[in-house]
Amino acid sequence: MTNRHAAMDEPFTLHLTGIAHGGEALGRHEGKVIFVPYAIPGETVRVQVVEEKERWARAQLLEVLEPSPDRVAPPCPYFGPGRCGGCQWQHIAYPRQLLLKQEIVGDQLRRLGHLSDPPVRPARPVGEPWGYRNHVQFAVDPEGRLGFYTAGSHQVIPVEQCLLLHPLLDELHAALELELAELTRLSLRAGIASGEQMVVLETEGDEAPELTVDFPVSCVLLRSREPPLILAGRGYIEEEVAGHRYRLSAGSFFQVNTAGAEALVETVTAYLQPGPDDRLLDAYCGVGLFGLALARQVAEVIGIESAPDACFDFVWNAEAMRLANVALIEGPVEEVLTAWVAAMEAPPEQPSDDEEQAALAGFGQGIDLAVVDPPRGGMGAEVVAALARLGPRRVAYVSCDPATLARDAQAFVQAGYRLAEVQPVDLFPQTYHVESVGLYVKRA
């Protein structure tokens, strides 16, 4: 229920003192936290409240009275209130963006993870802060034009050019000629190292629209109840990261920043310190970005993945790399880990009647190292506890959301681990989003 203060009805002056997860600057007025988008901590601004709750309010920025020295002119014509919601920080100089991301990760670990002094390193920049995305997903407006949603709504803003797209995608976007009557979503993907390009379509009724491009490109229709339909070229592209080549099917997840993916592999490797006798678990393994890159440094890699397309790519990539020490378990991580622990802890004289547990018993009595790359929702306390029962001495936790990173940090501490270090890696310049890698070390 909204609870309006009379003092909040009129515009007022506010000094901004911090940054929130979500990208908004914040200050305090009349005992409430006020969130202000498109502002910067340290600024004094004139604002008008547009949403008010019991403990906080959100305000519209009316005027910057005392600008930050880090305020810059946004280069994109679609950036700003009521416009494209893809970027939140084009008005902030890039070095300050990195500092704010470190601050956000540390703040979430303190508030949600209950860590008094979280060991968060400075955010690491990777590649260029513009033109970095190897994958983009467009929405379609009622007139069939491609664009992006406005912040907090389903209204589509048509966009002729996005400054975050890698030149391979920018070129592809400009070359498309589409009959869009039945199109609901369109994605563009590119292998930055291979130069390969792909158009991924989703339509009402899984109908294939007419499509024309002026150069070789793979085109795939994702269907709701049937396998993807290849309309042109191949059903996948290839990308190279840290000297390893990966097949990426149209429906498989992969990091949207290729230089950032390489930085993540480097960070995970440095954190895990793999040895030739180690058994490595790669949970939420996707196409094998981490596990396959580390396979030649360890005795064995065991991947867990539930998405069929990614599982197919993982096996393909392992065979293409001629890796004989890699196994894949297909299924949800929470179910696989629970069954694995049950199989591991079952008395040897009482073999399990459960086929899955019986199969998992063959994976032995635990693991030495683990890398986990969960979806935005994180792992959760039960999955963390199951992982801990397998006994890895080091866990590299790759996170795309500081809030779930922080909540899972508390679960790791309760499971007998300490958070040794967190390295934010900036895969998403001009936005508040930040990837992080946390290192958990098992306490003696």
**Residue 400 appears among annotated catalytic residues:** yes
Active-site residue among 84, 219, 311, 400?
400
Rounded Cα distance between 397 and 243, Å, is 22
Can you tell me the distance from the alpha carbon of 42 to that of 17, in angstroms, rounded to the nearest whole number? 6
Q: How far apart are CA 399 and CA 203, in angstroms?
A: 31
Q: Are 175 and 215 in contact (CB under 8 A)?
A: yes
Burial of 95 (0-12, 13-18, 19+ CB in 10 A): exposed
CA dist., res. 190 & res. 183, Å (int): 21
Give dist(CA 20, CA 103) in Å, integer. 9
Could you tell me which residues are beta bridge partners of residue 18? 26
* Paired tokens of 75: 């280069």
**How far is the C-alpha of 334 from the C-alpha of 311, rounded, in Å?**
16
Contact indicator for 23, 73 with CB cutoff of 8 Å: no
The span from the CA of 28 to the CA of 18, in Å, is: 10
Which tokens belong to 294?
């580390």
Please report, for residues 37, 307, 318, 330, the alpha-carbon distance to residue 312 in angstroms, rounded to integers and kept in the order given.
42, 9, 10, 10
- Tokens of residue 162, six digits: 């996005």
Retrieve residue 112's tokens.
Answer: 């949600």
Active site residues: 400
